[in-house]
């Protein structure tokens, strides 16, 4: 069975089009555009690329994005800025691009954002709401995965979902989102013994370990839905966590890298920004 490839680029474009019309009606009602403020510290090349992609998506949809860029900044000054943006009614979403330079404590900076403006869905409060089964601002990558599954009409209830990876940004919220849709969820990670014994029983397999091509064909059940969240640069090329060519023969649905989950993450950031803006304006 050769799996159908899920076209994340196409689904993300459709979502962005829907969002553009949502932004238009927000503008009609409030007289202004939703606004996201993006903070970028240091010279990490990938971070600069990601922020550029976020700005482009925002502009295309009609969301105002304001970039605060610093070659370096103290933790104290950064927290001051976050607090200023948090108290600015014009600002609907605050995004601090990660990773931050090593001399800045990420937790201290993130916790200065208010949950209502946490469009990344990274804050403990928003993760806590997700844990309680309530939909507030949710982490963009796993939310994008859920939208892809929904778009492809993948049944989740009662299915065995296996998530490889336990990060606060992807693995843990992914586990919760699948659980909230009544999947039976197994979370595997770097210390899991006999990974294949778990992945082979997955109806839905989400690979978010950051290890290029670690998921091989013999680790996947026939007919599984395989979602590849991995993006590692290898010899200048983006590689997923799944050995795509081998694995696709066994799946019913599979996401490619690039063009799978990546575009969905950015679309979900725009979705969260519009949701946050609407909630703040009581719409």
Judged by the rule CB under 6 A, the positions of this chain that interact with ligand GUN are 50, 95-98, 120, 140, 265
Q: Work out the end-to-end distance of the chain between its first and last CA atoms, rounded to an integer number of angstroms.
A: 46
C-alpha span between 121 and 145 (Å, rounded) = 15
**How distant is the alpha carbon of residue 2 from its chain centre?**
27
Pick between residue 54 and residue 181 the one whose CB is nearest to ligand GUN.
54
Q: How far is the CB of 49 from ligand GUN (least distance, A)?
A: 10
Pick between residue 127 and residue 156 the one whose CB is nearest to ligand GUN.
127
Active site residues: 54, 97, 120
Q: How far is the CB of 70 from ligand GUN (least distance, A)?
A: 15
Q: How far is the CB of 26 from ligand GUN (least distance, A)?
A: 23
Contact by Cβ (8 Å): 61, 5: no
C-alpha span between 70 and 171 (Å, rounded) = 30
Residue with nearest beta carbon to ligand GUN: 98
- Bridge partners (DSSP) of residue 36 are 65, 93
- Phi and psi, residue 127, nearest 5°: -65, -35
Pick between residue 24 and residue 105 the one whose CB is nearest to ligand GUN.
105
Cα angle: 16, vertex 133, 92; to 5 degrees: 45
Pick between residue 40 and residue 220 the one whose CB is nearest to ligand GUN.
40
3-state SS assignment for residue 36 = strand
Contact by Cβ (8 Å): 170, 141: yes
């Amino acid at each position: 069975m050769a799996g159908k490839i899920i076209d994340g680029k196409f689904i993300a474009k459709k979502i962005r089009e829907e969002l553009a019309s949502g932004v238009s009606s927000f503008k009609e009602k409030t007289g202004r555009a939703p606004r996201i403020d993006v903070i970028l510290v240091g010279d990490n090349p990938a971070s600069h690329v990601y922020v550029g992609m976020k700005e482009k998506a925002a502009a295309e949809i009609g969301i105002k994005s304001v970039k605060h860029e610093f070659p370096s900044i103290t933790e104290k000054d950064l927290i001051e800025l976050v607090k200023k943006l948090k108290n600015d009614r014009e600002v609907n979403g605050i995004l601090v691009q990660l990773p931050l330079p090593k001399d800045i404590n990420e937790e201290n900076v993130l916790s200065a954002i208010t949950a209502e403006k946490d469009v990344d869905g990274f804050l403990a409060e928003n993760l806590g709401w997700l844990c309680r089964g309530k939909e507030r601002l949710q982490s963009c990558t796993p939310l994008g995965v859920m939208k892809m599954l929904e778009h492809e009409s993948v049944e989740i209830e009662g299915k065995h979902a296996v998530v490889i990876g336990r990060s606060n940004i992807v693995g843990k919220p992914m586990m919760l989102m699948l659980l909230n849709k009544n999947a039976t969820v197994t979370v595997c990670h770097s210390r899991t013994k006999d990974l294949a014994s778990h992945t082979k029983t997955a109806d839905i397999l989400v690979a978010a370990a950051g290890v290029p091509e670690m998921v091989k064909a013999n680790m996947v059940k026939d007919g599984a839905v395989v979602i590849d969240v991995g993006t590692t640069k290898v010899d200048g090329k983006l590689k997923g966590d799944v050995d795509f060519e081998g694995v696709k023969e066994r799946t019913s649905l599979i996401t490619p890298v690039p063009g799978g989950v990546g575009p969905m993450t950015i679309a979900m950031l725009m979705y969260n920004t519009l949701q946050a803006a609407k909630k703040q304006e009581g719409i």
